[in-house]
Structure 1
Amino acid sequence: GELTPWPAPGVRKSLPMFKGNAEAHLEYLINQVIPEAESMLTSPPSYRIIAGYSLAGLFAFWTAWHTDVFKRIACGSASFWYPGFTDYMKSHPMLSVPDYVYLSLGDNESNTKHPVMSRVGDCTDEVLNYLSDKEIPHFFEVNPGNHFSDPDGRLAKAILKTLLYLH
């Protein structure tokens, strides 16, 4: 629940509620992690990318509404099904429009019996339509398998394609 934008019920009765601690996590990244990491560089970065998989992918995308620190976003199998997210996306302006967004989803991710999580394909389509309507450069890739098929490889591919994007 550290990366979720607001509190919401857990996806199963046996799991705890999502805490909605995204703001605090973003503040920690901006005020502690990024300065520490960039203090080790010999020159400032040209731009920053934020990337994440699953709920971390949702968090990465959500940051565009809350900071101008990141110029590119890479989301692997982002949890766009999160309750209220697509409505939030459509009803609030981005604080900083990214210059590129990469999204991916497994071809079998919507085939789950869970009523909320099965909406991931439809919700991802809403995000893609939003990006197109706002003329934000983006790329969408469908990968074989479900949500748990090669998450590390998928995220690595997302980061690589985001780094290699040329305007």
Structure 2
Amino acid sequence: MKGRLEYGKIKVHYVLPQHGEISSACYVHGTEDMAQRLAGVLSGKETAFFAIEGEDWNADLSPWKAPAVFAGEEEFAGRADAYLDFLCGQVVPQTEYALHLSVKKRGLAGYSMAGLFSVYALYHTSLFTEIASVSGSLWYDGFLGFVKERDRVCEPGKIYFSVGKKERKTRNPRMARVEECTRDIMKLLEKEGVTCFFEMNEGNHFYQVEERMEKAVRYLF
């Protein structure tokens, strides 16, 4: 079964397995097409798939204010806390209630800024225990220091990290730190006893986005 629920500007595209009891749910930030494609990865499993669309990428997914990456672009507004409260307090519970779901495990997977947001969620809520940061913007100003200093709210089941081989070769000095920061953050989490997996993919930041997301979903579920 598939469909869509709306919460103001936020749309939630869902794909539910046709048979069996649904025991887990995977949430990503993406389009309806991504929902259909990634749900296929979970075919035959008791996992509901949800793609969230309509968020303000540079505002809702950024943990605090930061300068724009490129000249002429808007700055990062740092509204992740408020957006997480909205997701965890309204979108997720209302969606699962409307679809008569009672899941035991939830995952949150994201690409780029949504990958940063997924990791940041560990320090804000225990709602999502399976986390994927796919080419996540873990280079974000101050985020490595944040992970070093803050205690997690969530005790995750496992976390998936990946980056592209060419991502560190970008001319933008902030974004070029993505692989280094990703590895450092993973090491910090592993020292805390968290099960982590790192995968290096071919290409730059924009190469085979959906294929990379498929790998993440397979690992989590």
Q: TM-score, normalised by structure 2?
A: 0.71
1:77 positional shift: 0.5
Q: 1:24 aligns with which of 53, 76, 82?
A: 82
Look up the match of 2:65.
7
In structure 2, runs of 5+ residues without a counterpart are 1-57
Look up the match of 2:212.
154
Look up the match of 1:68.
126
Q: 2:190 aligns with which of 128, 132, 135?
A: 132
1:14 positional shift: 1.0
1:134 positional shift: 0.9
Please give the secondary structure, in 1, of the residue aligned with 2:86: helix
Pairing of 1:72-151 with structure 2 (within 5 A): 72-151=130-209
Aligned CA-pair RMSD = 1.1
1:40 positional shift: 3.8
1:125 positional shift: 1.4
Partner Cα distance (1:160, 1:74) in 2: 10
Q: Where has structure 1 moved over 6 Å in runs of 4 or more?
A: none
1:131 positional shift: 1.8
Bigger Rg, which one: 2
Number of residues of Structure 1 aligned to a counterpart in Structure 2 = 163
Q: 2:94 aligns with which of 33, 36, 42?
A: 36
Look up the match of 1:57.
115
Contact 1:75 1:155 in 2 (8 A): no
1:23 positional shift: 0.8
Partner Cα distance (1:45, 1:133) in 2: 29
Between structures 1 and 2, the one with greater strand share:
2
Please give the secondary structure, in 2, of the residue aligned with 1:20: coil
Relative contact order: is structure 1 or structure 2 higher (C-alpha 8 Å, sep ≥ 6)?
A: 1
Partner Cα distance (2:74, 2:101) in 1: 43
